[in-house]
Amino acid sequence: MQLQDILFSQGFGTRRVCAGLVQQGRVSVSGVIRTLPAEEFEEDCLVFTVQGAQWPYQERAYLMLNKPAGTECSQKPSTYPSIYTLLPSPLRLRPQKGAVQGVQAVGRLDQDTTGMLLLTDDGKFIHRMSSPRHHVPKVYEVTTKHPIEGAQVQKLLEGVLLDDDPKPVRAAACERVGEAGEPSHHLRLTLTEGKYHQVKRMIAAVSNRVEGLHRSRIGALSLPEDLAPGQWRWLTADDLARIAS
């Protein structure tokens, strides 16, 4: 593939802009500055540098973001900053079919919810991860206003009615977190489907209230401890396999 087309596919601008970056000596491959936009390269495992920043070629972008509180999962936020401002511009400008550009969040987290958020430009992956038919487990660490009682845990496992759902919604797994015998305000909740404000509404249905909410795992993939709030990283093939497992 021509170098200008590689840059275009990775979100560095129009083909004309990408050709200009090359001609101006702002792109290097294997430590060598390249000035010919039409120079051919194999894309597989290609790593290039644009204006001093190193980029791996990715046919499809798969990312993990540690979402901080006070951010919205929207391209057009209403009150709080968008999570997309935490990403470098090439990820936001990767070309896609249709009017949508860049990576998109796989589902949404409320503005006050923190933790693991996946983003991609792969529409099939978004559909697969979002569809309740695939039962991808998502684990949430919940802090409640009042201590969690065993009876409340049991109700969540058996199923609670939400105000807009005709059938009970069940937690795939639910456990109190803390010292045995001590009152606990912490709950670990596993869900396999996603509804609007689901965790908050489920906790409200057992006469309690969510004070803090953090998503710690999707599938068998946990949020790394060294990924600080607001930071992102590429997902590896192993990560993707663990999400689907």
DSSP line for the chain: -BHHHHHHHTTS--HHHHHHHHHTT-EEETTEEE--TT-B---TT-EEEETTEEEE--SS-EEEEEEPSS-BSSSS-SSS-BGGGGS-HHHHH---SSS--S-EESS---TT-EEEEEEES-HHHHHHHH-GGG---EEEEEEESSPPPHHHHHHHHH-B--TT-SS-B--SEEEE-SSTTS---EEEEEESS--TTHHHHHHHHTT--EEEEEEEEETTEEPPTTS-TT-EEEPPHHHHHHHH-
- Among all residues, which ones are annotated catalytic? 110
